[in-house]
Amino acid sequence: MTFAGKRVFVTGAATGIGRATADYLVAEGAKVLGAGLDGDDGKALASRYGESRLIFRESDLTREADVQAAVVAAQERFGGLDAVVNCAGIYPTGKRLEELSDEDWDRTIAVNLTAIFRVCRATLPLLRATGGGSIVNIASVHADATVPGVPAYAATKAAVVGLSRQMALDYAVDRIRVNAVLVGSVATRMTLDGLEAAGGAEALGLSFEPNRIARIANPSEIATAIGFLISDAASFVTGSAMQVDGGLLARLL
């Protein structure tokens, strides 16, 4: 896989999977525009490489104006885009449906689903103008099998898979590939907070041990899978929901 010359827009780029993806792609030759809420973390990442290779914009991607400003920046700085990776997300826990407020539901939908819709809508013209490209949307194993107390999260991640497949069908004519990644537990701030709220990794049958099924991943392990999907090596991969979960969904109990 080579990323030399590729221009990639990564959301949620300040922390977690998004940060690991931005870091990996730039180290392998890509130019990255990162966007997210954690401004200090994002700027620290950008300062490591310089603005000729990585630009970070502090953005609230639930706001249409912030999405449009980021896309304008990609066009002005890079002259277009070759790939888009939607990593931004939240993981509200500990509430069954009847305990979930309208505000919690709406916020989860806005961040985990509507923001992806807006980013894709805004960037598709740039990908088309390039002659095609790739979109990768981060979903979750919760799209297929879930745990108690995360109704909004599970609903959004299932929707991300459906949206990705629909876009793959609609934009194949434009040579734009669209895939989702079903991630398992990853050692990010968001996931670790959720594990703690659930009583710890062991309570959910998870482990940090590298030789265990359903272990907790390092974010860099997700980044390389994302890199494959946006690379030319994945030219025949579109409309997929690729599991990168350490075997979590393969386990019966």
Query: Which residues, 6 or more positions from 196, have their beta carbon under 8 angstroms from its beta carbon?
Result: none
Tens of pLDDT, residue by residue over 57-104, are: 999 999 999 999 999 999 999 999 999 999 999 988 778 999 999 999
DSSP 3-state assignment of 169?
helix
Is 153 one of the catalytic residues? yes
Q: What distance in Å separates the CA atoms of residue 101 and residue 12, rounded to the nearest whole number?
A: 25
Tens of pLDDT, residue by residue over 191-212, are: 767 666 666 666 666 767 777 7
**Higher per-residue confidence, 30 vs 198:** 30
On whether the CB atoms of residues 241 and 208 are closer than 8 A, the answer is no
Q: What is the CATH number of domain 7-246?
A: 3.40.50.720
Q: What distance in Å separates the CA atoms of residue 200 and residue 222, rounded to the nearest whole number?
A: 22
On whether the CB atoms of residues 180 and 138 are closer than 8 A, the answer is yes
Domain segments of the chain as ranges: 7-246
pLDDT band, very low/low/confident/very high, at 222 (cuts 50, 70, 90): very high
pTM for the whole thing?
0.92
Q: What distance in Å separates the CA atoms of residue 85 and residue 221, rounded to the nearest whole number?
A: 15
Choice among 24, 91, 153, 171 that is catalytic: 153
Nearest Cα residue to 159 out of 194, 192, 110, 195: 110
On whether the CB atoms of residues 14 and 90 are closer than 8 A, the answer is no
Query: Which residues, 6 or more positions from 25, have their beta carbon under 8 angstroms from its beta carbon?
Result: 3, 6, 8, 10, 32, 223, 227
The arithmetic mean of pLDDT across residues 177-194, rounded, is 86
Residue 30 clears pLDDT 90, i.e. is over it: yes
How does strand 241-244 pair with strand 83-86?
Answer: unpaired
